[in-house]
Amino acid sequence: MNYRHLYHAGNHADVFKHAILAQLILHLRLKPKPFAVIDTHAGLGLYDLGSAEALKTGEAADGIVRALDAAMPAAEPHLAIVRGMNAAGGLSVYPGSAAVARSLLRDDDRLIASELHPDDHRTLRAQFRGDPRVSIHHRDGYEAFLAFIPPPERRGLVLIDPPYEERDEPARLGAALVAAMKKWPTGMFAAWYPVKDRTTLAPLFAAVDGAGFEGIVAEFIRHEENGLRFAGSGLVILNPPWQFEATATAIQTELRDALGAPAQPPVRRLRV
Ligand SMILES: C[S@@+](CC[C@H](N)C(=O)[O-])C[C@H]1O[C@@H](n2cnc3c(N)ncnc32)[C@H](O)[C@@H]1O
Q: For residue 202, give the H/E element and its range.
A: helix 202-208
CB 141 within 8 A of CB 159: no
Please report the pLDDT score of residue 139 as a whole number: 96
Average pLDDT over residues 249-266: 98
Q: Which residues pair with 81 in a beta bridge?
A: none
| 161 a catalytic residue | yes
pLDDT digits (tens, 9 = 90+) for 153-184: 999 999 999 999 999 999 999 999 999 999 99
89: burial class by Cβ within 10 Å (0-12, 13-18, 19+)?
exposed
Share of the chain above pLDDT 90, in %: 99
Cα–Cα distance, 121 to 132 (Å, whole number): 17
In the reported structure, the alpha carbon of residue 71 is separated from the centroid of ligand 1 by a whole-number distance in angstroms of 30
CB 61 within 8 A of CB 180: no
Q: 101-121 burial, b if ≥16 CB within 10 A, otherwise e? A: bbbbbeeebbbbbbbbbeebb
| φ/ψ bin of 137: left (φ > 0), alpha (ψ from -120 to 50), beta (otherwise) | beta
Please report the pLDDT score of residue 1 as a whole number: 80
Q: Residue 228 carries which side chain, given as an amino acid letter?
A: L
- Is the beta carbon of 116 within 6 A of some atom in ligand 1? yes
- Closest Cα to atom 25, ligand 1: which residue? 117
Let me know if domain 5-264 sits in CATH 3.40.50.150: yes
- β-strands 46-48, 93-95: how paired? antiparallel
User: Which residues lie below 8 Å from residue 253, measured CB to CB, with a gap of 6+?
Assistant: 264
pLDDT digits (tens, 9 = 90+) for 196-236: 999 999 999 999 999 999 999 999 999 999 999 999 999 99
Atom of ligand 1 nearest to the CA of 40: 21
pLDDT digits (tens, 9 = 90+) for 5-21: 999 999 999 999 999 99
Atom of ligand 1 nearest to the CA of 14: 8
In the reported structure, the alpha carbon of residue 42 is separated from the centroid of ligand 1 by a whole-number distance in angstroms of 5
Q: Which residues pair with 218 in a beta bridge?
A: 235
- Is the beta carbon of 151 within 6 A of some atom in ligand 1? no
- β-strands 46-48, 268-269: how paired? unpaired
- Is the beta carbon of 5 within 6 A of some atom in ligand 1? yes
- Is the beta carbon of 115 within 6 A of some atom in ligand 1? yes
Is the bond into 150 cis (omega within 30 degrees of 0)?
A: yes
Cα-Cα-Cα-Cα dihedral sign, residues 30, 12, 39, 150: positive
Please report the pLDDT score of residue 159 as a whole number: 98
Cα–Cα distance, 211 to 232 (Å, whole number): 25
Cα–Cα distance, 3 to 53 (Å, whole number): 12
Q: How many residues does the chain have?
A: 272
Please report the pLDDT score of residue 272 as a whole number: 87
In the reported structure, the alpha carbon of residue 12 is separated from the centroid of ligand 1 by a whole-number distance in angstroms of 17
- Is the beta carbon of 97 within 6 A of some atom in ligand 1? yes
Quick check: pTM over 0.75?
A: yes
- β-strands 36-39, 215-221: how paired? unpaired
- Is the beta carbon of 137 within 6 A of some atom in ligand 1? no
Cα–Cα distance, 252 to 195 (Å, whole number): 15
- Given the residues 62, 161, 168, 197, select the one marked as catalytic: 161
Q: Given ligand 1 and candidates 116, 123, 145, which is best to mutate, with the most ligand atoms within 8 Å of its CB?
A: 116
- Is the beta carbon of 255 within 6 A of some atom in ligand 1? no
Q: What are phi and psi of 234, to 5 degrees?
A: -145, 165
DSSP state letter for 223: S
Residue among 103, 100, 161 at smallest CA distance from 131: 103
Atom of ligand 1 nearest to the CA of 39: 6
H helix runs in 29-168, sequence order: 52-57, 64-68, 76-84, 97-103, 118-128, 141-148
